[in-house]
Amino acid sequence: MSDTQPASVYDLTPSEEAESLATFAILVDNEPGVLHRLVGLFAARGYNIESLTVAETDRRAHTSRVTIVTRGTPHVLMQIEAQLEKMVATRHVQDITRDPNGLERELALVKVKGSGGDRVEALRIADIFRAKVLDTTIDSFIFELTGASSKIDKFVDLMRPLGLVELSRTGVLSITRGAEVF
């Protein structure tokens, strides 16, 4: 064994661990400054937020559900979760990516400009991806697509050469299967 390679994955230091995506669902008090403090927690520690969605919940007064997608080593992701749980306004934190019942979805609006064969091909691909046509003109379409972020990425990649001109994405939303309440 060489001196540069670890004996096993257990010998990896935190800086050598592979990074992965994690989706955290956070239930917070809906009060002024909570989102600022939450984002500040990430910024102060140099963590990047890849997706952020926030909305008031329907079952509890004065609470909001925040879904954050971030990337890091397992050690860093555990630190992020611990820091989120320590925030005063936080009521609950759940790592959706580690939950076998977790579901993640995203919504995208995709505008494609084209004519002739490109227009026909865009409609064919949209049908395959089960994208809904929201608007059409003589030279453009606006498609609505929901699904996993990877599905949306693939759809966008296929639409680029066909005339993709604009893209709007919601960010990741998450929920768990079953009757249990967050």
Q: Which of 98, 113, 139 is the last residue of a domain?
A: 98
Residues of the chain falling short of pLDDT 70: 1-16, 59-60
List pLDDT tens digits, range 98-136.
988 999 999 999 999 988 999 999 999 999 999 999 999
Q: Give pLDDT, residue 16.
A: 65
Residue 31 lies in a domain: yes
Asked if the structure places residue 141 within a domain, the reply is: yes
Query: Would you say residue 181 lies in a domain?
Result: no
Same domain, 71 and 115: no
- In this structure, the answer to whether residues 112 and 163 fall within a common structural domain is yes
- pLDDT tens for 143-157 read 999 999 999 999 999
Question: Would you list the DSSP string of the chain?
Answer: --TTS-SSGGG--GGGSPPEEEEEEEEEE--TTHHHHHHHHHHHHTPPEEEEEEEE-SSSTTEEEEEEEEEE-HHHHHHHHHHHHHSTTEEEEEEGGG-TTEEEEEEEEEEEE--THHHHHHHHHHHHTT-EEEEE-SSEEEEEEEE-HHHHHHHHHHHHHHHEEEEEE---EEEESSS---
Model's pTM, two decimal places? 0.79
pLDDT score at 8: 46
Residue 6 maps to a domain: no
**Domain assignment of residue 134, given as a range:** 102-175
